């Protein structure tokens, strides 16, 4: 069915009030976008730090309503909810519905990482190669976000895990996925031979996504999730952290303490140019540190000192 789309600019400070008013009058969905997405100095927002919910300073807010909603009556209702907000800049248009899952599927084909790791939409047929007996196939739900393997930071980690499987390191291992997002890395590790995995994330929605994806992949009994600080202290032979460089630096001692002596770690989410500071934060606890680059992103991996 078609929808009535309302679009208006707002600031980061005003955003919560605008969103509250739109929800009050029955918005079906609300999305945010950078108002300066095409600017050369536009800053992308990836995964926030613990306790942070970063937004752009200026943004465009879009809300969907049933197509038959009268525009002027909607504006009057919004003004009644919050008379101090400027609703005069709101613009309307009718948008046609579409099969969003099908559209997602059309732009997201199965992806291969390393020798045998595949990320495949849950209702997509297995491509040639992913049906091999030794293939490690992770099925993801198109409706869940937080990581699908298409971003270089995730791709670098998936390639690393596939390489560990080739070395036999993952066989029977316990894996820690710090900043798990969709759980894609923990799921790949389990499919590649790990015995169990723990996913940690500061976003409860990410933990829900990880849990749902684990159930869909038939490994729900082998993948646990929790918020930072809620886990039972333990060490792991394999740790992967795909977060931001600033968080990796701040958590260097915490992550180092999670890696068993002789264990492996992969650190990703690092922009090119940030790797030296991250290396400096980890070289006291790790040896054989290596840097791998994909596009503008860096992965650092190494071995825990005994």
- Binding-site residue ranges: 154, 179, 201, 242
23 and 70 in contact (C-beta within 8 Å)?
Answer: no
Return phi, psi of residue 127, to 5°. -75, 170
Opening angle at CA 179, ends 177 and 183, nearest 5: 60
Coil, strand or helix at 113:
strand
Question: Considering only CA atoms, which of 201, 224, 197, 202 is closest in space to residue 211?
Answer: 224
Quickly list H helices, the chain.
15-24, 71-81, 100-107, 152-167, 184-191, 204-216, 245-250, 252-258, 275-282
What are 251's two structure tokens? 């958590």
190 and 158 in contact (C-beta within 8 Å)?
Answer: no
- Strand ranges (DSSP E) for the chain? 3-11, 29-34, 58-66, 91-95, 111-113, 117-121, 136-140, 174-178, 196-200, 223-226, 236-242, 259-271, 286-294, 297-304
- CA dist 195 and 86 (Å) reads 56
Beta bridge partners of 7: 62, 91
Question: Considering only CA atoms, which of 115, 121, 156 is closest in space to residue 138?
Answer: 121
| Contacts of residue 131, Cβ cutoff 8 Å, sequence gap at least 6 | none
- CA dist 280 and 276 (Å) reads 6
Coil, strand or helix at 38:
coil
Question: Binding site membership for S-adenosyl-L-methionine: which residues?
Answer: 154, 179, 201, 242
């Amino acid at each position: 069915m078609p929808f009535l789309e309302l679009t208006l600019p707002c600031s980061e400070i005003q955003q919560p009030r605008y969103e509250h008013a739109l929800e009050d009058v029955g918005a079906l969905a609300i999305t945010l976008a950078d108002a300066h997405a095409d600017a050369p100095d536009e800053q992308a927002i990836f995964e926030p730090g613990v306790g942070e919910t970063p937004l752009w300073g200026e943004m465009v807010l879009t809300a969907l309503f049933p197509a038959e909603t009268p525009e002027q009556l909607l504006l009057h209702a919004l003004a009644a909810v919050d008379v101090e907000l400027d609703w005069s800049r709101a613009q309307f248009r009718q948008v046609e519905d579409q099969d969003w899952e099908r559209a997602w599927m059309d732009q997201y084909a199965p992806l291969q990482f390393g020798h045998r790791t595949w990320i495949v939409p849950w209702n997509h047929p297995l491509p040639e190669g992913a049906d091999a007996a030794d293939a490690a196939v992770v099925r993801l739900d198109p409706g869940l976000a937080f990581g699908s393997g298409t971003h270089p930071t995730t791709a670098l980690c998936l390639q690393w895990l596939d390489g560990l499987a080739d070395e036999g390191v993952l066989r029977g291992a316990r894996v820690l996925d710090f900043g798990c997002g969709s759980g894609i890395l923990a799921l790949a590790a389990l499919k590649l031979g790990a015995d169990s995995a723990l996913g940690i994330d500061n976003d409860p929605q990410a933990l829900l996504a990880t849990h749902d994806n684990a159930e869909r992949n038939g490994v729900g009994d082998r993948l646990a999730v929790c918020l930072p600080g809620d886990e039972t202290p333990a060490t792991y032979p394999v740790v992967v952290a795909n977060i931001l460089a600033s968080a990796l630096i701040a958590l260097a001692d915490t992550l180092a303490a999670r890696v068993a002596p002789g264990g492996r770690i992969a650190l990703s989410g690092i922009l090119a140019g940030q790797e030296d500071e991250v290396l400096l934060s980890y070289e006291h606890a790790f040896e054989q540190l290596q840097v791998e680059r994909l596009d503008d992103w860096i992965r650092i991996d190494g071995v825990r000192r005994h």
